[in-house]
Amino acid sequence: MSASVVATRPFEDQKPGTSGLRKKVKVFQQANYLENFVQAVFDSIGDFAGQTLVLGGDGRFYNRQAIQIILKMAAANGFGRVLVGQGGILSTPAASHIIRKHKAFGGLILSASHNPAGPDEDFGIKYNIGNGGPAPEGVTDAIFARTKDIGEYRILAADDISLDDIGETQLGDMRVEVVDAVADYADLMRSLFDFDAIRALLAGGFTMAFDAMHAVTGPYATAILEDDLGAPKGTVMNGVSKEDFGGGHPDPNLTYAHELVDVMYGKTSRPAPDFGAASDGDGDRNMVLGNGFFVTPSDSLAIIAANADCAPGYQGGIAGIARSMPTSAAADRVAEAMGLECFETPTGWKFFGNLMDAGKVTLCGEESFGTGSSHVREKDGLWAVLFWLNILAVRKDSVANIVTEHWRKFGRNYYSRHDYEGVDSAAAGQVLQTVRDQFTTLPGQRLAGRLVSACDDFSYADPVDGSVSSNQGVRVLFEDGSRIIFRLSGTGTSGATIRLYLESYEADVCKHDMDAQDALAEMITAANEISKLQALSGRDRPTVIT
């Protein structure tokens, strides 16, 4: 085996987004495209000679082929060991845990998260640093800079290795260890939650359904929920991982997880279970449902925080809470009641990493169906599901009762997100600029029956390293704490996604039973009027409402 140096030319479109580089599969299949980006990562992350790299992905189309290329490049570039998930599979939170457990230099995670998969769909790759979290902006900026002037990459001339058999293989001077993709993660979950209490709950007539959406959490959920905790076989729906995710869109929300939603709202022949949940393509997102009842991700974070002492791993207390800026302020109210600090960060899990490493927060979450804690440095879908099961086992109450009791104590943050997907990028940018152009005139006006107090483009100064992230979302803030927020998503692969966030706080218990869209109707109208969103986007309604 010998290392080759292959001449190449830069591609102009390799700027990593919020969660790495995401493009259509056919883009990644271009000669040298994946290789250029991987070499740019290796050239930008420092001295890793002899160190360990973690490698795996969500099993989508092109996952196996990409892993074989990356293994040969890692060997040619001087890594001493690569830990790769069996079959090339690692959920994103499991990869984060393995990086941390084995003190790896970092990891490459192959995923486009909740985006569709298949030969004509999406693929992605991101680099996670040694703390197990996504690379910070300084690293991704360096990677992008390197992609623009790269002239060669290094790769080992070698045959592919088996990814299906657990064990060790030598690849040049580098050792490749194929590891059980589930075992280490399952052990971590046992250390955090009361599995005996959850087993008793499931054995006592409590029913649940978990939709793995034919994505990466299928084997994780089957091993933990059915094999370990004793949930009946078939509790895990769509549990067989497929390269095209069964042709579905593996985004655990009310629109795309419609099969689970139908089950939980009694629209099928089976009785609606007591508890339902779903996870996404790479296993880091979650949706939580009760019998005929949807729990918003913002409320889920707040309720987990308020009930953290139900889980053994958190009974010593939590250090603090963090949420992304577009996430509702429900968690802020819990933090205040608990005497804890609540941090407001830009969207992107990497912003939570510094806070967790500094011991400032234990729990964190995003409205985009992501919740997690300091056990890893990624959001973690199955962890959130197990936390809810632990709470239900201790509280011995329904999901709906737990949520409504929480509202009675803390008030309800009516909240919704409207996504306009695949919008022309220039038109999407103009929507935000239209609101920016009114920053000086909107304050003092009344919109949706509320007084506008301020407008801004959210900027975040990291309290740990002092770095500043600007232009993180256009906000219209109201005197009563309500908010209208416009933001462009960084997770798509074509066009742009405009995200409109709406929030209104209601303290009056007598007004807690409204449908969120009805409660926010005047704000929705006002948001469209000030932004000209529908006129500029050419859309008369959102693609997805959550």
Annotated catalytic residue: which of 91, 113, 324, 416? Answer: 113
What whole-number percentage of the chain has pLDDT above 90?
93
Q: What is the pLDDT of residue 5?
A: 96
d(CA 288, CA 517): 19
**CATH at residue 319:** 3.40.120.10
Q: What are phi and psi of 168, to 5 degrees?
A: -110, 145
Q: What is the pLDDT of residue 348?
A: 83
Q: What are phi and psi of 409, to 5 degrees?
A: -80, -40
Catalytic-residue membership of 113:
yes
Dihedral (CA of 240, 244, 250, 255) sign: negative
Q: What amino acid is encoded at 307 in this protein?
A: N
Q: If we measure between CA atoms, which residue out of 235, 209, 207 comes closest to residue 223? A: 235
Q: What is the pLDDT of residue 490?
A: 56
- Assign 411 a pLDDT band (cuts: 50, 70, 90): very high
On the question of pLDDT at 36 being above 60, the answer is: yes
d(CA 376, CA 149): 34
- Same domain for 82 and 141, yes or no, is yes
Taking only the tens place, the pLDDT of each residue in 307-320 is 999 999 999 999 99
Q: What amino acid is encoded at 283 in this protein?
A: G
Q: If we measure between CA atoms, which residue out of 213, 202, 206, 214 comes closest to residue 272? A: 206
Question: Which value, in Å, is the radius of gyration of the alpha carbons in the chain?
Answer: 23
d(CA 393, CA 211): 21
The domain tally of the chain equals: 3
d(CA 23, CA 357): 31
- Assign 493 a pLDDT band (cuts: 50, 70, 90): low
CB 91 within 8 A of CB 188: no
- Assign 18 a pLDDT band (cuts: 50, 70, 90): confident
**CATH at residue 513:** 3.30.310.50
Helix (H) or strand (E) holding 203: helix 195-203
Distances from the Cα of 338 to the Cα of 68, 321, 330, angstroms: 49, 10, 13
Q: Mean pLDDT across the chain, nearest whole number?
A: 95
d(CA 533, CA 517): 18
- Same domain for 224 and 365, yes or no, is yes
Q: What are phi and psi of 279, to 5 degrees?
A: -130, 170
On the question of pLDDT at 283 being above 80, the answer is: yes
Q: What is the pLDDT of residue 27?
A: 97
Strands 468-469 and 208-211: unpaired
- Same domain for 301 and 314, yes or no, is yes
Q: What count of residues does the chain have? A: 546
- Same domain for 216 and 157, yes or no, is no
On the question of pLDDT at 492 being above 80, the answer is: no
Q: What is the pLDDT of residue 494?
A: 58
d(CA 112, CA 124): 5
Taking only the tens place, the pLDDT of each residue in 185-241 is 999 999 999 999 999 999 999 999 999 999 999 999 999 999 999 999 999 999 999
CB 528 within 8 A of CB 540: no
What's the predicted TM-score (pTM) here?
0.93
DSSP class of residue 17 equals B
Q: If we measure between CA atoms, which residue out of 21, 79, 9, 135 comes closest to residue 490? A: 21
Taking only the tens place, the pLDDT of each residue in 63-104 is 999 999 999 999 999 999 999 999 999 999 999 999 999 999
E runs forming strands in 47-80: 52-57
- Same domain for 441 and 470, yes or no, is yes
CB 176 within 8 A of CB 1: no
Picking from 164, 181, 198, the residue at the C-terminal end of a domain is: 181
DSSP class of residue 228 equals I
Picking from 350, 382, 410, the residue at the C-terminal end of a domain is: 410
- Same domain for 267 and 378, yes or no, is yes
Q: Rounded to a whole number, what is the distance in angstroms from the first to the last CA of the chain?
A: 52
On the question of pLDDT at 292 being above 60, the answer is: yes
Q: If we measure between CA atoms, which residue out of 246, 220, 261 comes closest to residue 381? A: 220
Picking from 410, 434, 456, the residue at the C-terminal end of a domain is: 410
- Same domain for 426 and 358, yes or no, is no
E runs forming strands in 10-121: 21-24, 52-57, 81-89, 106-110
Tokens 């009762």 correspond to what residue? 401
Strands 342-345 and 363-366: unpaired
Helix runs in 222-344, H state only: 258-264, 297-306, 330-338
Dihedral (CA of 110, 284, 120, 417) sign: negative
Q: What are phi and psi of 363, to 5 degrees?
A: -115, 145
CB burial of residue 503 (10 Å; 0-12, 13-18, 19+)? buried
193: Cβ–Cβ under 8 A, 6 or more apart, which residues?
A: 311, 312, 313, 386, 387, 389, 390
- Same domain for 95 and 128, yes or no, is yes
On the question of pLDDT at 495 being above 90, the answer is: no
Taking only the tens place, the pLDDT of each residue in 247-260 is 999 999 998 999 99
On the question of pLDDT at 491 being above 60, the answer is: no
- Mean pLDDT for 47-54 is 98
102: Cβ–Cβ under 8 A, 6 or more apart, which residues?
A: 52, 54, 83
Tokens read off for 212? 């793995």
Rama region for 294: left / alpha / beta (φ>0; ψ in -120 to 50; rest): beta
- CA quadruple 157, 59, 243, 36: dihedral, nearest 10: -40
- Same domain for 420 and 486, yes or no, is yes
Residue 488: count other Cβ atoms within 10 Å of its Cβ.
18
Tokens 């001493």 correspond to what residue? 80
Helix runs in 307-398, H state only: 330-338, 350-357, 381-395
- Same domain for 128 and 261, yes or no, is no
Q: If we measure between CA atoms, which residue out of 83, 88, 98, 22 comes closest to residue 59? A: 88
On the question of pLDDT at 106 being above 80, the answer is: yes
Helix (H) or strand (E) holding 456: strand 450-457
427: containing domain? 412-545
- Same domain for 224 and 154, yes or no, is no
- Same domain for 150 and 44, yes or no, is yes
